[in-house]
Amino acid sequence: MPMTGVLRPGHAQLRVLDMEESVHFYTNVLGLKETGRDKSGRVYFKAWDERDHNSVILRQADRAGMDFFGFKVESKEVLENLDKALKAYGVTTERMPAGEMMETGERVRFKAPTGHTFELYAEKNHVGNGLGDFAPEAWNPDQKGISPVRMDHALIYGKDIDGTRKLFEEVFGFRVTERVKLEDKTTDLAAFITCSTKAHDLAMVRHGEDDKLHHVSFRLDSWEQVLRAADIMTMNRVSIDIGPTRHGITRGATIYFFDPSGNRLETFCGGYEWYPDMHEITWPVEEVGRAIFYHDRKLNEAFLAVVT
Ligand SMILES: [Fe+2]
């Protein structure tokens, strides 16, 4: 496995406008499991097959968006080493004490050049997926709504995507899987990067405003599950941005939709497995429509404009 010490996206803290409406949506429509509430009023969720205590945290605020995105690392030793590596790279880091987030150990927090707050952590309590570790059943019948397998990745928007990409490549060992090039054939409009065998663990698009969220994505097992997710969205009158369709980039089958606060989320399945000996894929800007929405072959108005 081309693991780098950074294991995977581990948590995203999202701002919501109305907590109870949002808890209903994230529990009964998206189908995450609520795992706790803390003193500050934040509500914690996990997807059914995730083993750690939480992957989505909601905080009530007066505007939507993402507070921070966290990556789980392999061990406390890796956490210390990556903190040192960030400082050596010229990045200021901050320690968030263990327990500041429920069931989560100490976190190393930093700002990326695109203005986004990222975190690394090594410890989050294992609560399991309800199936046990000994001779488990195949899936848990106690599921509501869309019920994704896991929180999978995020797409962020900001100005200096070169700086953020380089930081993740040079400090954490992420690798670029795909890029979209602007007309000059040099400048990246978008970059997709991985720390695993996934086609992307984080993606970024060049945008005039920093610290913006395009979407947080949740993985489903099959195309049938993606179609079922679209049915559940219609049954609940969820605002759908686009889909079900397929991305040319990563080849994932997708739906973009909005939570009640206007945060864009994605449910998707598929995409190829990536290995470090694979060649990077490049898309010219003239093909960006097919790259993002393979069937429509054009971007919709919202893709570039609507971010939180
Ligand atoms: Fe995505």
pTM of the model: 0.96
- What percentage of the chain exceeds 70 in pLDDT? 99
**Side-chain-facing half-sphere of 289: CA atoms under 13 Å:** 8
Q: Say how many Å lie between the CA of residue 86 and the centre of ligand 1.
A: 26
Cα 180 to the center of its chain, rounded Å = 19
Residue 219 has φ and ψ, to the nearest 5°, of -90, 135
Known catalytic membership, residue 153: yes
Read off the pLDDT of each residue in 159-187 and give the average, rounded to a whole number.
97
Residues 69-104 have pLDDT tens digits of 999 999 999 999 999 999 999 999 999 999 999 999
Query: Could you tell me the distance, in angstroms and rounded to a whole number, from the CA of residue 20 to the centre of ligand 1?
Result: 26
Residue-level pLDDT at 2 = 44
Marked catalytic residue, from 153, 157, 207, 214: 153
pLDDT at residue number 302? 85
Chain segment 27-72, per-residue pLDDT in tens: 999 999 999 999 999 999 999 999 999 999 999 999 999 999 999 9
Domain ranges (residues) in the chain: 6-121, 150-305
pLDDT band at 3 (very low <50, low <70, confident <90, very high): low
Catalytic, 119? Answer no
Retrieve residue 137's tokens.
């059943």
Q: Which of 171, 167, 214 is nearest to 189 (CA)?
A: 214
- How far, rounded to the nearest angstrom, does the alpha carbon of residue 95 sit from its chain's CA centroid? 22
pLDDT of residue 1: 41
pLDDT digits (tens, 9 = 90+) for 236-291: 999 999 999 999 999 999 999 999 999 999 999 999 999 999 999 999 999 999 99
- Domain covering 150-305 in this structure, CATH number: 3.10.180.10
User: Which residues make up the environment of ion ligand 1, defined by Cβ < 5 Å?
Assistant: 217, 266
Q: Are the CB atoms for 60 and 260 separated by under 8 Å?
A: no
Whether 6-121 shares its CATH topology with 150-305 is answered yes
Q: From the CA of 48, how far away is ligand 1's center (Å)?
A: 19
Kindly give the distance from the C-alpha atom of residue 219 to the centroid of ligand 1, in angstroms, as a whole number.
9
Confirm whether 295 is a catalytic residue. no
207 is catalytic: no
Indicate the class that CATH gives domain 6-121. alpha beta
157 is catalytic: no
